[in-house]
């Protein structure tokens, strides 16, 4: 199947939409990641950077949730000629997720 000019235009429109909404999507990502990690920050002793044995599962689940969140879907409303419609944009915030976990828990990128 060959791509037509319409296909190329749709792909270009999507890329433009993706680019223009990246900062808002990144902000939404950080808000959700912070909501996850803030529930577990108390589990880590700041002086020794250790986790109490009873809290290991909670911290590991939070790390997994943030890493899963790195493949982030962000929904925007796009105005069409006759109607508005929702567009779901997909972002890869893996590096940002690792940086966030490093800041929140002191987890190094090599371990993730």
For 86-111, what is each residue's pLDDT tens digit? 889 999 999 999 999 988 887 776 66
pTM flag (> 0.85):
no
Cα–Cα separations (whole angstroms), residue 2 to 14, 42, 96: 19, 56, 36
Q: How far apart are CA 110 and CA 98, in angstroms?
A: 9
Question: Which residue ranges of the chain lie beneath pLDDT 70?
Answer: 1-2, 5-13, 46-48, 109-112
Count of domains observed in the chain: 1
Dmax of the chain from CA atoms?
A: 61
Q: How far apart are CA 77 and CA 88, in angstroms?
A: 9
Say what the pLDDT of residue 29 is: 97
Q: Is residue 40 a contact partner of residue 56, using CB atoms and an 8 Å limit?
A: no
Q: Which domain holds residue 23?
A: 5-111
Nearest to 64 by CA among 103, 98, 26: 98
């Amino acid at each position: 199947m060959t791509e037509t000019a319409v296909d190329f235009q749709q792909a270009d429109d999507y890329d433009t939409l993706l680019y223009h909404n990246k900062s808002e999507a990144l902000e939404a990502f950080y808000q959700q990641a912070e909501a996850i990690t803030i529930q577990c920050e108390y589990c880590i002793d700041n002086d020794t950077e250790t986790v109490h044995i009873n809290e290991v599962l909670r911290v590991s689940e939070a790390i997994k949730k943030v890493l899963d969140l790195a493949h982030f879907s962000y929904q925007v409303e796009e105005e069409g000629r006759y109607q508005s419609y929702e567009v779901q944009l997909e972002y890869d915030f893996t590096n940002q997720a690792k940086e966030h976990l490093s800041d929140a828990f002191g987890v190094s990128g090599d371990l993730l």
